[in-house]
Amino acid sequence: MTYDEIVAVLGFAGGNDQPVRILTTNKMEVVGVPTSVDAHIAAHEVYLLPSGADETEIAVNLGAIESVELM
């Protein structure tokens, strides 16, 4: 996926409280609902709430994302 496609899917999912499955460039899988996408060069990450862990938030570097799919 292109960077713009990744940001668009994450933005859509976050705006609709829809979970996504992220596959990183090192083949790790992260599943959760995006809470924010910060494409600014200083941050360059997405924050997710993983399923079943409402008090945990995960940050993933946008440059480390290979693909994103809506669940």
Instruction: With a cut of 80, say whether residue 54 has pLDDT above it.
Output: no
Tokens representing 36 are 């924010």
Residue 22 pLDDT grade (very low, low, confident, very high; cuts 50, 70, 90): very high
What φ, ψ does residue 20 adopt, rounded to 5°? -130, 160
User: What is the span of the domain harbouring residue 19?
Assistant: 3-70
Q: What is the mean pLDDT of residues 13-32?
A: 96
- HSE, CB side, 13 Å, CA atoms: give it for residue 22: 31
Residue 40 pLDDT grade (very low, low, confident, very high; cuts 50, 70, 90): confident
Q: What is the pLDDT of residue 34?
A: 96
Instruction: With a cut of 90, say whether residue 45 has pLDDT above it.
Output: yes
CATH number of the domain enclosing 36:
2.30.30.100
Of the candidates 49, 41, 38, 50, the residue with the CA atom closest to the CA atom of residue 7:
38
- List, in sequence order, the alpha helices (H) in the chain: 3-15
Q: What percent of the chain has pLDDT over 70?
A: 100
Residue 40 CA to residue 18 CA, distance in Å, equals 23
Domain count, the chain: 1
Q: What is the pLDDT of residue 35?
A: 94
